């Protein structure tokens, strides 16, 4: 178990430096999640590759939802739900949960539903980390400065959302608190976001993000954080669909 903890801590050490998620061809839908294979103890390199690819894919999936791209999220979920490879015996229950959640993302018929299940994917990872006594670390960078420009405001929002995601996956109280603190006070110029058009839905969504992030500051239960992150992800997606219909870079 100690070896696994050290391996996991080493593997996740570059949150934004991971390899791109696998490019897979869409296959038939409705496939049952595979039963994780339990093999002889994998060596450190195999575990490193397994964790890197899965973390990259899950992170890209939740960013696709935030951008409002449900089809892209389903494409990644199909790979997660059907990909099988040998894992240590103690990982098997958590991989089964991850496969099941991925299948639910693939079957989701709306962004809000997909967002809630994407948060469940992150929680499946953190539950495994907790069970293995793994200390997961991430590359850190300071929050972008806030200016009057919408682009810099969005970068600050993305930075905070990334810290919340890392805090959920870790799990890490420090990263979660950093993300919640910044997001709960971050400014968003809703007039710029709505491209100057007078509309009430964009300010309402911005207010919802502020409300959820303020709740996040005082939310300490890991399962409750997963639920709350799903709500945040869904709200971000709803706003992006309205004002940024074209693909946007993730955090």
Residue 203 CB-density burial (10 A; 0-12 exposed, 13-18 middle, 19+ buried): middle
Peptide bond into 33 cis (omega under 30): no
Residue 146 clears pLDDT 70, i.e. is over it: yes
Mean pLDDT, the chain, rounded, equals 78
pLDDT band at 196 (very low <50, low <70, confident <90, very high): low
The beta-strand segments (E) located in the chain are 37-38, 86-87
Predicted local confidence at residue 9, as pLDDT:
37
- Distance (Å) of CA 162 to CA 48, 61, 108, 134: 22, 13, 23, 20
Predicted local confidence at residue 188, as pLDDT:
82
Of 4-8, 56-60, 80-84, 213-217, the poorest mean pLDDT is in 4-8
- Supply the pTM of this predicted model: 0.76
Predicted local confidence at residue 24, as pLDDT:
38
Predicted local confidence at residue 32, as pLDDT:
35
Of 4-18, 34-48, 147-161, the poorest mean pLDDT is in 4-18
For residue range 222-250, list pLDDT tens digits in order: 999 999 999 999 998 888 877 765 544 44
What is the token pair recorded at 88? 């240590």
Predicted local confidence at residue 197, as pLDDT:
57
Rounded to the nearest 10 degrees, the angle between the axes of helix 201-218 and helix 150-169 is 40
What is the token pair recorded at 31? 């496939």
Residue 215 clears pLDDT 90, i.e. is over it: yes
**Cβ-based neighbours of 246, under 8 Å, separated by 6 or more:** none
d(CA 198, CA 164): 31
What is the token pair recorded at 35? 């039963």
Neighbours of 48 (CB within 10 A): 16
Q: Are 209 and 160 in contact (CB under 8 A)?
A: no
For residue range 31-43, list pLDDT tens digits in order: 333 334 434 345 6
Highest mean pLDDT among 9-13, 31-35, 131-135: 131-135
Of 16-20, 151-155, 213-217, the poorest mean pLDDT is in 16-20
Measured in residues, the chain has a length of 251
Residue 38: phi and psi, rounded to 5, are: -110, 115
- Measured between its terminal Cα atoms, the distance across the chain in Å is 32
Residue 22 clears pLDDT 50, i.e. is over it: no
Residue 208 clears pLDDT 60, i.e. is over it: yes
Residue 1 clears pLDDT 90, i.e. is over it: no
Give me the mean pLDDT over the 78-97 stretch: 82
d(CA 68, CA 110): 10
CA nearest 123: which of 156, 164, 151? 164
d(CA 120, CA 104): 10
């Amino acid at each position: 178990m100690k070896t696994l903890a050290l391996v996991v801590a080493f593997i996740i050490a570059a949150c934004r430096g991971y390899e791109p998620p696998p490019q897979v061809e869409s296959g038939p839908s409705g496939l049952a999640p595979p039963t994780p294979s339990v093999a002889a103890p994998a060596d450190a390199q195999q575990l490193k590759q397994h964790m890197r690819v899965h973390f990259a894919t899950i992170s890209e999936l939740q960013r696709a939802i935030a951008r409002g791209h449900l089809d892209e999220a389903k494409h990644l979920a199909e790979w997660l739900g059907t990909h099988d490879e040998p894992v240590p015996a103690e990982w098997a229950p958590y991989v089964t949960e991850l496969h099941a959640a991925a299948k639910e993302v693939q079957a989701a018929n709306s962004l809000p539903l997909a967002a809630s299940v994407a948060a469940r994917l992150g929680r499946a990872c953190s539950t495994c980390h907790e069970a293995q006594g793994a200390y997961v670390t991430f590359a850190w960078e300071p929050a972008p400065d806030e200016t009057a420009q919408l682009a810099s405001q969005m970068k600050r929002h993305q930075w905070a959302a990334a810290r919340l995601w890392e805090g959920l996956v870790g799990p890490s109280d420090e990263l979660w608190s950093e993300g919640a603190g910044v997001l709960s006070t971050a400014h968003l110029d809703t007039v710029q976001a709505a491209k100057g058009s007078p509309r009430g839905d964009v300010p309402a969504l911005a207010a919802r993000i502020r409300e959820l992030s303020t709740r996040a500051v005082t939310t300490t239960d890991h399962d409750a954080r997963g639920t709350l992150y799903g709500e945040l992800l869904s709200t971000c997606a709803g706003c992006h669909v309205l004002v940024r219909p074209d693909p946007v870079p993730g955090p």
